[in-house]
Amino acid sequence: MNKRLWIAVGFAVVAGAGWPLLDVAVAQTLPPAAPVHNLSEIKPLPGAPNLNPKSSGRTVHLMPTVQGARALAKARALVHPAAGPLVYNGGPIMQRAKLYAIFWIPAALQNGGSTGMPVAYQNLQTRLLADYTGHGIDNVNTQYYQIIGATTTYIQNAAGVILTNGLAGFTVDNAPYPASGCSDTATPGNCITDAQIQAEIQKVMALMGWKSGPNKMFLLYTSNGEGSCIDSSSKACAYPDYCAYHGAIGTSPPIIYANMPFGNLSACQNPGQPSPNGHAQADAVMSIASHEISEAITDPIPPTAWIDSTGNENGDLCNFDYGVNTWTSLAPNDANQMWNGNFYELQREWDNHVGGCVQLGP
């Protein structure tokens, strides 16, 4: 099925679900959303996980586990029966995304255990990064904007400029992990902190000659068996508390990045969710990557751009919500997205125009 036919079918599915459609031109005539009055007022809801912890004086934004997402939804429903909307808080957006992947696969874990990251897993992650820009989920981002002075700039998808956006580079680093700087209960003896993650990203960037920029994002994928925590206090860690997170390193310009732990199906995937590529862990992490990319595009230096009144970003309002699997009997299993002939099972993203989660943007 060619790309033009996929777009037509995609819109038919959305319209059939009763969701109104707005094209980008209409979206860009809408008035600015009212900002949250004071970012310091954003605090976790009672009984919900803190999605915005501090790391080295800067805020990172966590993607909670399935259990954490359920707790968040329950707490939010008690205070805000209707989810959203996202509101603009004056910070920057990523107008177009250039994505870089770093696969950190040493010969051994800190405790001497074996590492693991199949080549198929790596290939599927880079394929998702190459396909993300200019397609259904990326279209959702186009309704969001930044205001600098008197200039309003909207996020753009990469349709027509694929060669300069999407997957901009990737590499494998076989250097050893540093000594554990934290204690992740899911991976005893094998844990790196956010500071160690930032150091690895900056090291690889220097080796590869990659430069930071307002439209660049660096995703660090770690091996099976390797955990992570925000800091040495180990209060927020992979799998007990999060599946991934994104943030910005305070360089000039900032380095927009994401920590992408290896796929954990018990914590970071709905039971029985389809695996359209026949690799359940890779399929789960592709959805997590889509979540992190969408959030970084709309709030690259969290929480300063598009968030709701309790600190949720666009991915949080639709976490583990996949909608309808519109593609059946074409991949090894059902899928809800088909981009460039490739199949994905990706969570939906929040659309302010319809006040809900969608598979295809305005």
Pairing of strands 191-193, 227-229: parallel
From 171, 285, 167, select the one nearest 216 (Cα to Cα). 167
Confidence of residue 294 (pLDDT cuts 50, 70, 90): very high
pLDDT bracket for residue 31 (50, 70, 90): very low
Q: Would you say residue 174 has pLDDT above 50?
A: yes
Question: How would DSSP label each residue in 37-75?
Answer: S-GGG--PPTTS--S--EETTEE-EEEE-HHHHHHHHHH
273, 344 contact by CB (below 8 A): no
Residue 286 in this model has a pLDDT that exceeds 90: yes
Is residue 18 very low, low, confident or very high in pLDDT (cuts 50, 70, 90)?
A: very low
Q: Which residue has the higher pLDDT, 39 or 247?
A: 247
Among 170-184, 303-317, 347-361, the range of highest mean pLDDT: 170-184
Check whether 338 has a pLDDT greater than 70.
yes
pLDDT tens sequence across 97-119:
999 999 999 999 999 999 999 99
Q: How confident is the model at residue 35 (pLDDT cuts 50, 70, 90)?
A: low
Check residue 141 and give its pLDDT.
95
Range of the domain at 279: 3-358
Note the pLDDT tens digit of each residue in 114-159: 999 999 999 999 999 999 988 889 999 999 999 999 999 999 986 5
Domain count, the chain: 1
What pLDDT does residue 1 have?
A: 36
Residue 247 contacts residue 194 (beta carbons within 8 Å): yes
Tell me what the mean pLDDT of segment 340-362 comes to: 93
pLDDT score recorded for residue 243: 98
Confidence tier at 331 by pLDDT (50, 70, 90): confident
Beta bridge partners of 170: 101
Sequence-distant (≥ 6) Cβ neighbours of residue 153 within 8 angstroms? 93, 95, 145, 146, 147
| Count of beta carbons in the 10 Å neighbourhood of residue 209 | 7
